Amino acid sequence: MRINKFLSTLGIASRRTIDKYIEEGRITVNNNIATTGMDISENDDIFIDGKKVETNIDEEKVYFMLNKPLEVLSASSDDRGRKTVVDLIKTDKRIFPIGRLDYMTSGLILLTNDGELFNRIVHPKSEIYKKYYVKIKKKEIDELKKGVLLDDGKTLPAKISGIKYDKNKTSMYISIREGRNRQIRRMIEKFGYKVLMLRREKIGELSLGDLPEGKYRELTKQEVEYLYLGGKMALTKEEVLKIAKLSKLSFEEKEIEKFQIELNDILKYIDMLNEVDTSKVEPLVYINEAVNNFREKEEKPSLKIEKVLLNAPESAENAIVVPKVIGE
């Protein structure tokens, strides 16, 4: 496996960051300086900045949602001894946070040992929105909806909802799908406004709900599937039950989740078609050049209604009666 993909799968860093480490000569493989694009495996001895990398890529994957309190660092460790999000979760797995929340920002943060999921969520092309509850000292900023020009470039337009005014303070929900450093704060401070409170409420459709501050829970299989699909196409339990009803299928409660995962697996493979580059492929009307040979049109008299109804199990008003199957 390519070195950047291998190390990112372990959750070391994003592929771009790994490539940067390689350019800076910070990674060695079997006592040799790593090179961009080289293939490695878990049998190789890999060091980053002199520290050995644990390469158990087949370790059981775990996924957690944490309601991060204030003054907790979004990191795996801290050389200054500050409490981190990893310290709040009891697990024997080497987990790491997916993205970051500021030291003075609270709310929803995900942690895992699944580097592939990490890359899917933090990738610039990810379309998963993160929703924040914000209190500022001033009124609403319309410019947020259009994107804000920061030092590292203009942000994508933000979604604003739930605006409430209280004297000289304003509370609102801001949804963004980028993950720049201190992005919400910098967007608001750009206009000279002060952020009084900032809390992340949702990542896509994943919500804190009634999860208390400082507590955590494991993600369900459906939630993990949802994140793997980039917040798209994942079927909810209600949608699966609706499909089952339309298909005249009956499931026990324990079977529903299995069916849900299998359907989402199918959708995930279909979604992979979007990654195929078809820009240089000529559109096809037919798969092959075969031509259909139609028989010559020949008009024949149709059966009389009375004769047709003789073979019908039940009839009424010159029509065949069939069981009702829609709308039950």
3-state secondary structure of 265: helix
What pLDDT is stored for residue 68 in this prediction? 97
Partners of 98 in the β-ladder: 110
What pLDDT is stored for residue 57 in this prediction? 64
d(CA 294, CA 260): 44
What pLDDT is stored for residue 165 in this prediction? 84
Please provide the DSSP assignment of 112-180 as one string. Answer: ES-HHHHHHHHSTT----EEEEEEESS---GGGGG--EETTEEPPPPEEEEEEEETTEEEEEEEES---
* Tokens standing for residue 52: 């050995």
Nearest one of 78, 65, 109, 297 to 200, comparing CA atoms: 109
What pLDDT is stored for residue 203 in this prediction? 92
Confidence band of 140 (pLDDT split at 50, 70, 90)? low
d(CA 199, CA 326): 46
What pLDDT is stored for residue 27 in this prediction? 93
Neighbour-count burial of 48, counting CB atoms closer than 10 A to its CB (0-12 exposed, 13-18 middle, 19+ buried): middle
d(CA 21, CA 27): 6
Nearest one of 104, 163, 165, 157 to 137, comparing CA atoms: 165
Partners of 27 in the β-ladder: 48
d(CA 200, CA 176): 11
Neighbour-count burial of 174, counting CB atoms closer than 10 A to its CB (0-12 exposed, 13-18 middle, 19+ buried): buried
% of the chain exceeding 70 in pLDDT: 91
d(CA 58, CA 79): 29
270-288 core/surface letters (b: 16 or more CB in 10 A; e: else): eeeeeeeeeeeeeeeeeee
What pLDDT is stored for residue 211 in this prediction? 94
Residue 19 is a catalytic residue: no
Rg (C-alpha) for the chain, rounded Å, is: 28
Q: Does 171 score more than 80 pLDDT? A: yes
Please provide the DSSP assignment of 209-255 as one string. Answer: TTPPTT-EEEPPHHHHHHHHTTTSSPPPHHHHHHHHHHTT----HHH
Q: Which of 102, 142, 166, 265 is catalytic?
A: 102
Q: Where are the beta strands (DSSP E) in 238-320?
A: 315-316, 319-320
Residue at token pair 């697996």: 265
Confidence band of 35 (pLDDT split at 50, 70, 90)? very high
d(CA 4, CA 55): 13
**pTM for the full model?**
0.62
Q: Does 202 score more than 90 pLDDT? A: yes
What pLDDT is stored for residue 76 in this prediction? 82
Residues with Cβ within 8 Å of residue 101, at least 6 apart in sequence: 68, 74, 107, 109, 200
d(CA 33, CA 304): 87
Partners of 279 in the β-ladder: none
3-state secondary structure of 95: coil
Confidence band of 124 (pLDDT split at 50, 70, 90)? low
Are 187 and 179 within 8 A, CB to CB? no
